[in-house]
Structure 1
Amino acid sequence: MRFIVIRHAESQWNREGIIQGQLDSPVTHHGQRQIAALMVALKDTPFSQIFSSPSGRAMTTAQALATLNQCTVSSDARLHERHFGCLQGLPYHQAMRSHRELTSRIFAGEPTASAPEGESAHDVAQRMSAFFLSFPPSLRGTFGVVTHGHALQALIWQLQGGDWMDDTSRYDHPNCSYSVIEVGNGRLQLQNWGVATHLRALHPAPI
């Protein structure tokens, strides 16, 4: 099994610097341009099915890919963004004022850091891995997966060894970039990560 694992297109809160977590905001006009560039990049990659986080911004991205491939989209909560607890919905600069130490630890990529009632990167990596390992070994094909930036950081961190001293934030994925994962014999193998060459020609719209 081969999975193309995609970060959703730019959302309004991405653009405004607001910590989304499992809250939501719509895809921007620039995000729609990112989706168009992604579809061109993947036009020769036929997907058997698309899986998506239940968030609206992920589903918008997934539905475009499903239309291109004439296949269905299935939502799975294990693909949701990391839950940031009390930080969700706050502009980043406000979170730094009100929860400076906690915000710094989380966004510096400390694998075990979590907000109250939120998740650590390690927590997210566990549920993301469980999703990919839940398919029957006999299944063949290429599948699209649309998820989120911090969820992808956590997953790639784990696939790169899961070193507790490592910085998960260095596995950052721009909106509509993707990674490639092969699954076989009960193992996940990272083939490529953070592919974003298809986005080079795009210039962010002025705020």
Structure 2
Amino acid sequence: MVTATRLCLVRHGETDWNAERRLQGHLDIPLNAVGERQARATAASLAAERFAAVYTSDLLRARQTAAAICAAGHPPPFADARLRERHYGLFQGLTYAEAEARHPQAYARFHAREPDFAFPGSGESLSAFAARIDAVLADLAHRHAGGQLLIVCHGGVLDIVHRLATGKALQPPRDFVIPNAALNWIVHDGQGWRLQAWAEQRHLDGARDELANA
């Protein structure tokens, strides 16, 4: 009999670049004051949970969020670069409006969610990004079979996670929310992922969702 593995995935708290709708990607942007409060609120909401292990993206905004949560008595977080946001290439550091104005053809392909479009400047394609996230989740589920894990990551990562757990394709527009610091629960039953709960934010006094991977 296969024992289910349960994952709680948390998007990092808010940054100034989230507020500006600026693409962060692999750039290392810290939490702002709102994000720090969100991280502490998330810590309080998860204080009664027990996690076999905690994993975080190695980017600062995720590590800061994970550190705040783990201060409530959870295992120390392990930083894993495979949990990073998608690499947006030349778009990194630009607002969505700036990216559209400066690179209109590339932006149109990005907006259309073309699976094989890779951003100029060493950026990732959506299909390569999805394969990266699929692989790391499978690895962690196998490594901690039957346990409960906490994963702190990014909006783009959670876009892929939701699609993996619901069977939705990569290309359709996102029709679900990904607020900063909300709780998202998925379960692996030995056959595949299924969605248990999404965007729980009762612990938050409002949270940002830019309606695009940021």
Q: CA deviation at 1:83?
A: 0.5
Report how far residue 90 of structure 1 moved: 1.4
Shift of 1:12: 2.1
Q: Retained in 2: the 8 A contact 1:133–1:186? A: no
CA displacement at 1:203 relative to structure 2: 7.6
Q: 2:127 aligns with which of 101, 111, 122?
A: 122
Contact 2:15–2:35 (Cα < 8 Å) also in 1: yes
User: Aligned in 2, Cα 1:138/1:71: closer, same or farther, shift over 3 Å?
Assistant: closer
Q: Which structure 1 segments of 5+ residues have no match? A: none
The runs of 5 or more residues in structure 2 that have no matched partner are 209-214
C-alpha contact (below 8 Å) 2:180/2:207 kept by paired residues: no
Cα distance, 1:141 vs. partner?
2.2
Match 1:38 to one of 20, 27, 42: 42
Give the C-alpha shift of residue 69 in structure 1: 2.4
- The letter for the 1-side match of 2:201 is A
C-alpha RMSD over aligned residues:
2.2
TM-score (norm 2): 0.84
Moved more, 98-107 or 45-54: 98-107
1:50-61 to 2 correspondence within 5 Å?
A: 50-61=54-65
Matched, 1:179 2:188: no
**Number of positions where the alignment pairs a residue of Structure 1 with one of Structure 2:** 202
Are residues 52 and 110 of structure 1, via their aligned partners in 2, closer, same or farther at CA, if it must alter by over 3 Å?
same
C-alpha distance in 1, partners of 2:176/2:127? 14
Q: 1:138 to 1:86 in 2, by over 3 A?
A: closer
- Secondary structure at 1:171's aligned position in 2? coil
Which residue of 2 is the match for residue 196 of structure 1? 201
Q: 1:111 to 1:196 in 2, by over 3 A?
A: farther
Instruction: Check the 8 A contact 2:50/2:74 in 1, yes or no.
Output: no
Query: In the alignment, is the contact (CA less than 8 A) between 1:137 and 1:184 conserved in 2?
Result: no
Aligned sequence identity (%): 31
TM-score normalised by the chain length of structure 1: 0.87
Contact 2:57 2:84 (C-alpha < 8 Å) held by counterparts: yes
Partner Cα separation in structure 2 for residue 111 and residue 41 of structure 1: 36
User: Which whole-Å deviations, capped at 9, do the CAs of 1:51-77 have from their partners, x for residues lacking one?
Assistant: 000000000001111111241111111
Separation in 1, partners of 2:197, 2:111:
23
